Amino acid sequence: MTTSSTYPDLAEPSTFVTEDLPALWRRLREHDPVHWSAPTGTRPGFWSLTRHADVVAVYRDAERFTSEGGNVAATLLAGGDSAAGRMLAVTDGPRHRAIRALLLRSFSPRLLSAVVDRVRARTRALVEATLDRDTDLAADLADHLPINTVGDLMDIPAADRPMLVDWNNRTLSRYGAWDTDLDEVLARNEILLYFGELAERRRSNPGDDVLSALTTGLVDGAPLSAEEVVFNCYSLILGADESSRMSAIGAGLALAAHPDQWAALRAGEVGLDTATDEVLRWVTPPMHFGRRALVDVELGGGVVRAGDAVLLWNSAANRDPAVFPDPERFDLGRAGNRHVAFGYGAHYCLGAFLGRAHVSSVLEAWREQASAIELTGEPRRLHSSFVHGWSSAPVRVSSAAAR
């Protein structure tokens, strides 16, 4: 086992701004795939898994690993998540299955298929508005797409949606050095308070939307508590918005950096579904999810002790050459793409269908409406150990008519 000092601190957000991440993941996979980060004065020690097989094995193993101690580094290493047992992402067992079944009534692919047409139309309009001028993939495109889709599904007033995007940004990441831990806490509380008030109104006047389904639906014959409703709204708005936004931004940056793949997309040489999965693999917005060991478990020749925190690095698993031939190549035609950008197992992302629809709609709109995507400035990466993405991505997208 390699000592922690050999590697940067994987719980420190600045690591993911300054490091060459593909090179870091490669070193860990090859030399220390089950890596122990020793305790510091500010946090406990934790394990990091970087090989695809190990990551998937722990995702599958709900008997020996739990999400209820927290499912990201920030909560796992701070002693736990206050929403444990009440929010889908940090609830296991029968209660998890029951809450998930309630939400699936609104998030099944069959029901969401009607939403896709609205997503495509909205995306085409957003892309058209960015053509032939200096634009920012974050502020001018991505910030407006998933929030409006999930906002429609939850019947969130349109005027409130930009405010929610801002709170999401500050909750999951630091958009710059000016943000602090206090900003993250305050933003999280604002989201919880907002949905607490909205849920109260929806409880007395329900509609045909996801929030109403949460406030009026029954789980094991009883309604969800007010806290359960709010926590699950919080999880939905963050999960549905942030991952799709970062995937859309990452798609544009990757196409600008790989003109051969842009040409293949425009020529129709790759299918949208295949291309979408490669974008998700390449970007992997949720870099990790976390688990806590319930018993001693042998992994990679080491022993994870009961109570230890384990981070499953999706971004490293998605570059594992044992699963992805030539993993450092951005290949929109990649077949058999077994990425874990949406996690795996019982906690597989509820909004995966919508996430794919957002990425696919952006690729489709660019294919039909654009002739070139060129970087015009330096993208600004998020300060986050959880979300891989950018707060700004300046580009110029030339219209197809400008060819």
Distance CA 185, CA 170 (A): 9
Domains of the chain: 14-399 (1.10.630.10)
**Mean pLDDT of successive 10-residue stretches along the chain, which has 403 residues:** 73 93 98 96 95 98 97 93 94 96 86 89 98 97 95 96 91 60 86 97 94 94 96 92 95 98 98 98 98 96 94 99 98 98 97 95 98 97 93 96 63
- Residue 113: CB atoms within 10 Å: 11
pLDDT of residue 21: 97
Tokens 């359960």 correspond to what residue? 228
At residue 334, the 3 state secondary structure works out as coil
pLDDT of residue 4: 54
Residue-wise pLDDT tens digits, 346-385: 999 999 999 999 999 999 999 999 999 999 999 999 989 9
Global pTM reads: 0.95
Cβ-Cβ contacts under 8 Å for 334 (sequence gap 6 or more): 274, 277, 278, 281, 324
Residue-wise pLDDT tens digits, 106-164: 887 777 888 999 999 999 999 999 999 999 999 999 999 999 999 999 999 999 999 99
Cβ-Cβ contacts under 8 Å for 344 (sequence gap 6 or more): 55, 56, 59, 60
Nearest to 394 by CA among 42, 23, 37, 139: 139
